[in-house]
Amino acid sequence: MTEHIQYSAEKDALILLDQRYLPNREEWFECQTTEDICYALVVMVVRGAPAIGVTAAYGCYLAGREVQGMDGDWKEFLQSKLGQIHDARPTAVNLRWAVREMQRIWNEAGNITLEDLLPLWLERAKEIHIGDIAMCELIGKFGGALMDDGDTIMTHCNAGALATAGYGTALGVVRGAIDQGKKVSVIANETRPFLQGARLTAYELHKDGIPVKVACDNACALLMKRGLVDKVVVGADRITANGDAVNKIGTFGVAILADRFNIPFYVAAPKYTIDIETPTGEDVPIEDRDPMEVTHIGDHRIPPEGVEVYNLAFDPTPNELIAGIITEEGVLYPPYNESIKKLFSAD
């Protein structure tokens, strides 16, 4: 797949494949300022927890470049811009992690000038970018081993190359299984309202020649009952200290149904998606997005004027519904409070 996040040294800008228009057209969105970065994050030019982490890392560097031209206290200006990036979307921990990582470099550098800080930030952003692909490939290797030849894997939302720097987490598991010589196919739940499954998962798998069928979100129970689903693999925006996994709205329902039909339900995510500071999924802020995403299809309003809607973008899946959490360091199993503690004990 085309690299959908690109840093251009020539333009000193971040160039993003605009996911709002996929699969119909491939348009690119150029970010040079904090405002561009925040806009791209909020309207979902770029989305998916690791991808927004990578974008935020470059965003901090671009914020520094922007502050360079300003009169006044650069530290104060920069701090406020980092705050804007940090707050662009509340649920994915990766965004917060990336901004904190840049802040850590700044703090550790002591009394550094902005001119000296910027190359350190750009270098770190590139490392996070490249490192993300390597992490996904390892997730694919560990997760691929859990899949069987002939499996049909259901996924919800898009946790693929487009949601990461490349390869994907949940779709990394699919790619990993294929790399291991297994024949697998995918059911992509369409994922209302932004249709990450129907548009993005279908787009990237189809482009790579991986068999995929799109299903309405509400077909899940029947497909499972008919024995058409062997495994479920999803990504996560945040996994809490007890192993609850917060992911795209609807994931919780898929997990309940998988439990009902004895289908293993896996979560695939890099270690830094695990937020050990947050005890349970119920403690994670759930993004409440623009009602227009629910009320409208294109320019056409569906519910009558004046009727309100819910557009909560994520839900927490309780750890007892999760068969395993696939990370780049191996697969975690219940009890998750213990396996997660052990994973972090070496740090």
- Lookup: tokens for 306: 């004046």
Q: Is 248 annotated as a binding residue?
A: yes
User: Which residues, 243 to 262, sit near ligand MRU by CB under 6 A?
Assistant: 247-248
Exposed (0-12), middle (13-18) or buried (19+): which is 212, by Cβ within 10 Å? buried
Of the candidate residues 34, 169, 201, 327, the single one contacting ligand MRU (CB under 6 A): 169
Per CB under 6 A, the segment of 43-51, 75-83, 145-153, 315-323 that binds ligand MRU is: 43-51
Confirm or reject binding of residue 176 to ligand MRU (CB under 6 A): no
Catalytic residue among 18, 237, 244, 315: 237
159 closest CA partner among 106, 80, 237: 237
Distance of alpha carbon 164 from alpha carbon 18, whole angstroms: 14
The pattern of x and - marking residues 55 through 84 that bind ligand MRU according to CB under 6 A reads ------------------------------
- Least separation, in Å, of the C-beta of 341 and ligand MRU? 23
- Within its chain, how far is the Cα of 219 from the centroid? 24
What b-and-e string marks burial along 150-166, b requiring 16 or more CB atoms within 10 Å of the CB? ebbbbbbbbbbbbbbbb
Identity of the amino acid at 324: G
Q: Is 34 in contact with 66 (CB distance < 8 Å)?
A: yes
Is 18 a known active-site residue? no
67 Cβ contact list (under 8 Å, min separation 6): 74, 77, 78, 81, 114
Name the residue nearer to ligand MRU (CB basis): 94 or 295.
94
In the complex, residue closest to ligand MRU by CB: 235
Confirm or reject binding of residue 47 to ligand MRU (CB under 6 A): yes
Of the candidate residues 101, 132, 237, 328, the single one contacting ligand MRU (CB under 6 A): 237
- Least separation, in Å, of the C-beta of 237 and ligand MRU? 4
- Least separation, in Å, of the C-beta of 46 and ligand MRU? 8
Q: Of how many residues is the chain composed? A: 347
Of the candidate residues 5, 40, 45, 49, the single one contacting ligand MRU (CB under 6 A): 49
Which amino acids are annotated as binding site for substrate, given as ranges?
Answer: 47-49, 89, 196, 247-248
Q: Would you please indicate which residues are annotated as catalytic (active-site) residues?
A: 237
